[in-house]
Structure 1
Amino acid sequence: MLEKKKRVYSKEFKEQAVRLSHQRENIKELADELGIKVERLYKWRKWANSSPATEVKASLPEESIEVKKLRKALREKELELEILKKAVHIFSSSDGKSTNL
């Protein structure tokens, strides 16, 4: 009796197969081309939908650029706020002299 060896697929292969399955209309044809069962491909798709890691990787470069811009804008606003606080403190702690502003 012949024993079937269980094939082990790399994470990259699975992710690429899932990506291709979303691009192609005929999933059975894709599964045949990849040499896997259709059921396995659907299982991987289900796993990919429950795992947000693949979606995060795809959008990371665009989001990281936006995050950097937002962080820079936040630092600038925090600096402006700090300057305004110091100005208010300086003007409110004057020794009663009028500044005629």
Structure 2
Amino acid sequence: MTKTSRARYTLEFKQEAVRLVEGGQTIAGAARTLGIVEQTLFNWVKAHRQGKLKGVDSKPVSAEQMEISRLRAELARVKMERDILGKATAYFARGSI
């Protein structure tokens, strides 16, 4: 029997994930986009609202890591927008036939 290890996330990654939810994306959608479990993201949002969101490590985060985190969040937002536009296009295309 093998013991599975838990994924560990930086505080910046958690904050970016929470920003997606607070920006209007659903927890399910944001979690799917980021590749994390919905319950995990729900817990982060709850902890953030209580002022208790913490990262896994106390190491300083490099500028590159912060940029990667920001870009991942932006990519998730852009993918969501693309999906919405694709669905809208399909909807309106059906009506014009």
Normalising by structure 1, report the TM-score. 0.46
Normalising by structure 2, report the TM-score. 0.48
The structure showing larger relative contact order (alpha-carbon pairs under 8 Å, at least 6 residues apart) is: 2
Q: Which has the higher helix share?
A: 1
- Kindly name which structure, 1 or 2, has the bigger radius of gyration based on alpha carbons: 1
